[in-house]
Amino acid sequence: MSAPAKVLVVDDSATMRGLITAVLSADPEVSVIGQAGDALEAREAIKKLNPDVVTLDIEMPNMNGLDFLEKIMRLRPMPVIMVSTLTHRGADASLAALEIGAFDCVGKPLPGDARPFGDLAEKVKAAARSQRRQYAQSAPVAPPPAVADFRVGRKIVAIGSSTGGVEALIAVLQKFPANCPPTVITQHMPPTFTKSFAERLNRLCAPVVQEATDGARLEIGKIYLAPGGERHLQVANVHAPCCRLIERDPVNGHRPSVDVLFDSVAELAGRNAVGVILTGMGRDGAAGLLKMRHAGARTLGQNEKTSVVYGMPRVAYELGAVEQQLPLNAIGEEILKMTAARKEGTD
């Protein structure tokens, strides 16, 4: 067995530090090697203890978590998991952290939570195994392709992602023109985060990006993000395709689940669809992407080198669900090629 993942827990609350430590210490493959109450203590602990992973509170005295994260990524890049309150403000800060380079975010528990911090230990272990990515300043937002250069066909695009998906989705969707094909997305996220993420994508991208609502018609130039929480996103109605939010148990441990979305797209659109699986832990979406490919859809997967976690794309590739495996920066353009109208008509 490989050595346990070494973790430094950083939070200004002694109670929260103790709770996080208890949750992580219950996993024999994780070792909490230190705690810190603020950024100054954390900086010294990182130098002294050399942890594999840091869990970092967003709101701290002396220096907030986002500022400290920026320094970590610039001076000593390493996997950092942000710990945030499940509020709109916390969601905005968490999304900013993911764009800076945080590995993932988890929400602080609410009273009565049966599993405080959920799968934090699994995320820590995945972070410890992840590739160490060098910090880079955010590049200026590239202008989207001109509308005149793209004639949309009749295909629906379905995208699934998890850990690392915030950065990956931004990179893909910023390549889309304002008249992009109807696009549905399931990204594993806490319930309060998806609305903020949709708003963030809407500001960054040329198409309209919104949280999916039950019954929303799939339209050219619109992107629909599955809301986190109690329901799964599907597509329905072959004559007037629309979003459906359904109450159902978690699938592959997730709600919403990428498999549930991909299964519905395979049944509704068949060959008139493109399925894309991006970075993420686990296997959610792999079986659904295979079902899409068997139904005649075009399918893409993010390659190992550019994935924060090569879990979901790897399983999909090994199942034979992925027609083409591509680096992240090539996926947006390939989607447009696959969904563009043919000269003699529409695809």
3-state SS string for 306-324:
CCCCECHHHHHHHHCCCCE
> What angle, 0 to 180 degrees and rounded to 10, lies between the N-to-C axes of helices 165-173 and 88-100?
80
Choose, from 130, 162, 196, 257, the residue flagged as catalytic.
162
Which member of 52, 188, 254, 259 is catalytic? 188
Question: Has residue 345 got a pLDDT over 70?
Answer: no
Question: Facing residues of 42 across strands?
Answer: none
What pLDDT score was predicted for residue 240? 93
- What are the structural domain ranges in the chain? 5-129, 156-339
Q: What is the mean pLDDT of residues 67-79?
A: 94
One-letter amino acid at 213 equals T
Percentage of residues of the chain with pLDDT beyond 90: 76
- Report the Cα 100 to chain-centroid distance in Å: 14
Q: Is the per-residue pLDDT at 186 higher than 90?
A: yes
Catalytic residue status for 188: yes
Q: Which residues contact 237 (CB under 8 A, 6 or more apart)?
A: 268
* pLDDT at 117 (0 to 100): 84
- Please give the mean pLDDT across all residues of the chain: 90
Amino acid 289: pLDDT? 98
- Whether the CA torsion 276, 171, 214, 111 is positive or negative: it is positive
Of the given ranges (11-25, 89-103, 147-161, 256-270), which has the lowest mean pLDDT? 147-161
- Percent above pLDDT 70 for the chain: 92
Spatial contact of 82 and 90, defined as CB atoms under 8 Å apart: no
- What is residue 296's DSSP assignment? T
Alpha helices in the chain (DSSP H): 14-25, 39-49, 65-75, 88-100, 120-129, 165-173, 193-204, 258-269, 286-294, 312-319, 328-339
Alpha carbons 261 and 269: distance in angstroms, whole number: 12
* Assigned CATH for 156-339: 3.40.50.180
Q: Is the pLDDT of residue 27 over 70?
A: yes
pLDDT of 343: 58
Q: What angle do CA 244, 248, 253 make, to 5 degrees?
A: 115
Equal fold, 5-129 vs 156-339: yes
Asked if 94 contacts 58 with a C-beta cutoff of 8 angstroms, the reply is yes
| Whether residue 284 lies in the annotated active site | yes
- Is 247's pLDDT higher than 90? yes
- State the pLDDT at residue 252: 95
**DSSP summary character for residue 326:** E
Q: Determine the pLDDT at residue 107.
A: 84
CATH number of 5-129: 3.40.50.2300
What per-residue confidence (pLDDT) applies to 63?
86
Q: Mind listing the pLDDT tens digit for each residue in 299-344?
A: 999 999 999 999 999 999 999 999 999 999 999 999 999 999 875 4
Catalytic, 2? Answer no
Residues 116-167: tens digit of each pLDDT: 888 899 999 999 988 544 433 344 445 555 444 677 778 999 999 999 999 9
Please list the residues that pair with 278 across neighbouring strands.
none
Omega before 256 cis (within 30°)?
yes
- This model's pTM is above 0.85: yes
Q: Which of 38, 259, 284, 307 is catalytic?
A: 284
